[in-house]
Amino acid sequence: MGWNLEALEKRLTGKVIGQPLYYYPEIGSTNDEAFRLGVAGAPEGTAVIADSQTKGRGRLQRVWHSPPGSNIYTSILLRPNFSPDLAPRISIAAGVAVAEILSTYCPGLVELKWPNDVLLNRKKVCGILAQMKASASDIDFVVLGMGINVNINDKQLPPDIRTIATSLAIETGQEIDRQELIISLYENIAKWYKELIQRGFDAIKEKWLNLSPMIGKKVQVMFRDEGVSGKALGLDDDGSLIILSLNGETVKVFAGDATIVKER
Ligand code: BTN
The SS3 assignment for 23 reads strand
Q: For residue 147, how far is its CA from the centre of ligand 1 (angstroms)? A: 5
Residue to substitute in 23, 59, 72, 73 for testing ligand 1 pocket (most ligand atoms within 8 angstroms of CB): 73
Residue to substitute in 64, 73, 123 for testing ligand 1 pocket (most ligand atoms within 8 angstroms of CB): 64
Q: How far apart are the C-alpha atoms of 209 and 111, rounded to whole Å?
A: 10
- What are the DSSP calls for 68-134, one per residue? TTT-EEEEEEE---S-GGGTHHHHHHHHHHHHHHHHHHSTT-EEEETTTEEEETTEEEEEEEEEEEE
C-beta of 31 in contact with ligand 1 (< 6 A)? yes
C-beta of 75 in contact with ligand 1 (< 6 A)? yes
Q: For residue 29, how far is its CA from the centre of ligand 1 (angstroms)? A: 8
Q: How far apart are the C-alpha atoms of 49 and 242, rounded to whole Å?
A: 34
Q: Provide the residue-wise pLDDT of the chain in tens; the chain has 264 residues.
A: 689 999 999 999 999 999 999 999 999 999 999 999 999 999 999 999 999 999 999 998 899 999 999 999 999 999 999 999 999 999 999 999 999 999 999 999 999 999 889 999 999 999 999 999 999 899 999 999 999 999 999 999 999 999 999 999 999 999 999 999 999 999 999 999 999 999 999 999 999 999 999 999 999 999 888 899 999 999 999 999 999 999 999 999 988 889 899 776
- The phi and psi torsions of 256 (rounded to 5 degrees) equal 135, -170
Q: How far apart are the C-alpha atoms of 60 and 40, rounded to whole Å?
A: 26
What type of residue is 167? S
CB 51 within 8 A of CB 28: no
Q: Whose CA is nearest to atom 16 of ligand 1?
A: 145
Q: For residue 247, how far is its CA from the centre of ligand 1 (angstroms)? A: 35
Q: For residue 62, how far is its CA from the centre of ligand 1 (angstroms)? A: 9
Rg of the Cα trace of the chain?
Answer: 18
- Nearest atom, ligand 1, residue 56 CA: 14
Provide CB contacts within 8 A for 175, sequence distance 6+.
1, 151, 169
Q: How far apart are the C-alpha atoms of 87 and 82, rounded to whole Å?
A: 8
Q: What are the strands, taking DSSP E only, across 135-255? A: 139-148, 218-223, 226-235, 241-245, 250-253
